[in-house]
Chain A
Amino acid sequence: MDKLTVSELNKVFSARQGDVTALKDVSFSVRESEFAVIVGPSGCGKSTLINIVGGLEDKTSGSVMISGHEISGPGADRGMVFQSYSLFPWLTVQKNVEFGLKMKGVPAKERSETALSYIDMVGLNAFKDALPDQLSGGMKQRVAIARTLANDPEILLMDEPFGALDAQTRMLMQESLADITGRTGSTVLFITHDIDEAILLGDRVLVMSRRPGTIKADIDIKLDCKRNHEALTDEGFIRIKKQIMTLLWEEMDVKGESK
């Protein structure tokens, strides 16, 4: 069954120099428990797309449905993880993870139990009483992921969540995320410009064209190997990587910048 259905989605920004079409007739769907990744050159509108799905930006036309219901505005059914972590610096790790449950009015005891189980899942037991300021970037993003999962959203929207992390931390985070979503069976829409990350994490990779952004290709990722750093050198992995690189390369101009 489809969790997320995006059809004929258009987004036009009105600027002084004239209208800019950011998204043009974008249609795709994400099935339950599927990990869908969108890759695209910078400026292709992929962040705009996920913000529209998250209800943080308005669409110009088209439809976005979650489990068959048209969305309106942001809501707890679509949990978002941002590149900038966006933790609440005045709350401890545990209180941050409890935030969504508190908004729903879940009793304190139940809140605390749920939060602790997700903190455990992301491996931060020892830091449950720490303030975000005391954590490294990778740890902050783990808290943000736990905070979103604890809220039990229908779909997890992740906007380049590991973009601000160093290469090693990013790899560790990718492996933990694959492990966590494998266990929770979460439906995920993940945005990145990193092809390795897309193939490593995705059940499906959607390739976007440069502006105006459209879905250019929809690739099922079937790997025989385990989804960890060793996969990066797997033959099947490299074959898919070549395919996606070719698709993305067509979107670049000769100077190597996206047009």
Chain B
Amino acid sequence: MKKTRILSSTSFLLIIVIWCVITYGGLVAEIFVPSPTAVIRKICESSADGSLWANCWISTKRVMIGWALAAVIALPCGMVMARSQAFNALMRPIMEFARYLPVVALVPLTILYVGIDESQKYLIIFLGTFFQLVLMIQDTVSGIDVNQINAALTLGASRTQLYKDVIFMAALPGVLDDFRMTIGWAWTYLVVAEMVAASSGLGYIILKSQRFMGTDVIFMGLIFIGLIGLLTDFVMRVLTRIIVPWYKRLGDA
């Protein structure tokens, strides 16, 4: 465990060292790659005036709301698709079609239909994650042990009880993994949403800075998106351990 932690920190340190060497060593112009000092200075400035935290918060909020909407609807949808051939036949073609539509190409329509307020951001993130999530959950639910379902049926479980007490519980570890993966994607779609018709958020400040060659702000934005991503992943892992303590995975300590 300790050894893997050292290895994980090493990969991060290495990137920082390379960054220092190419900037302080004058190998790349400051305007393309800002030095760590410049980025830290920027972080201090925007954290002092509160704009950094405001932007982090609004972006996180957008991701969470858009993604949570997708998750809440995708879960029952995927579960029923996995169990009912008729429902699967009905839904699958739509899902497969929709999931290949590039979300960027849907931005104009979303603006046309819902305007440029917050709900448009949620919609973009929803569209980016929902269809994938439904198919992932369907796959997870299809993979649960059929013997557990048979056991429940011969113990007298009704249809509702079967879904609630067995299928949902058996699929939960896999579903939480699906959730964790799609939150990551939600951040990608966030930037898509914030690069068009937004006036706040980490994606917005990154795009805005491009016009002024503000690479220090771009770096800051990227670093914070990455950090929030890491934090989300960590929280999801801890939650998974708390929610499904019985579940052991290969490679878990």
Contacts and interface: CB of A to CB of B under 8 A. Distances in A.
Given A86-B147, A86-B148, A89-B246, A80 B169 contact: no
A128 to B, nearest CB: 16
B155 A56 contact: no
Given A84-B147, A88-B148, A133 B153 contact: no
B217 to A, nearest CB: 47
A131 interface: yes
Interface residues of A, number: 29
Contact of A80 (B145, B151, B157, B161): B151
A76 to B, nearest CB: 3
A114 B251 CA distance: 39
A149 B158 CA distance: 19
A100 B145 contact: no
B155 A76 contact: yes
B152 A79 contact: no
A10 interface: no
B244 A99 contact: no
Interface in A13-43: none
B154 interface: yes
Contacts of B169: 88, 90
Contact of B154 (A80, A90, A131, A133): A80
B169 to A, nearest CB: 5
A206 B169 CA distance: 39
A86 B150 contact: yes
A142 interface: no
A104 interface: yes
B148 A56 contact: no
B157 A103 contact: yes
B155 A86 contact: no
A133 B248 contact: yes
A79 B147 contact: no
B102 interface: no
Interface in A75-104: 75-76, 78-80, 82, 84, 86-90, 99-100, 102-104
A147 interface: yes
A103 B155 contact: yes
Given A90-B169, A103-B161, A56 B246 contact: no
Given A84-B147, A86-B147, A86-B148, A79 B154 contact: yes
Contact of A99 (B155, B170, B247, B248): B155
A167 to B, nearest CB: 24
Most chain B Cβ neighbours within 10 Å, of A78, A79, A86, A100? A86
Contacts of A212: none
A191 to B, nearest CB: 15
Nearest to B150: A56
Nearest to A153: B154
Nearest to B148: A86
B158 A103 contact: yes
Contacts of B147: 82, 84, 86
Given A82-B147, A90-B170, A90-B244, 17 more contacts: A74-B150, A74-B153, A76-B155, A78-B154, A80-B150, A80-B154, A84-B147, A86-B148, A86-B150, A86-B151, A88-B152, A88-B166, A90-B172, A99-B152, A99-B155, A133-B246, A157-B154
Interface of A: 54-56, 73-76, 78-80, 82, 84, 86-90, 99-100, 102-104, 131, 133, 144, 147-148, 151, 157
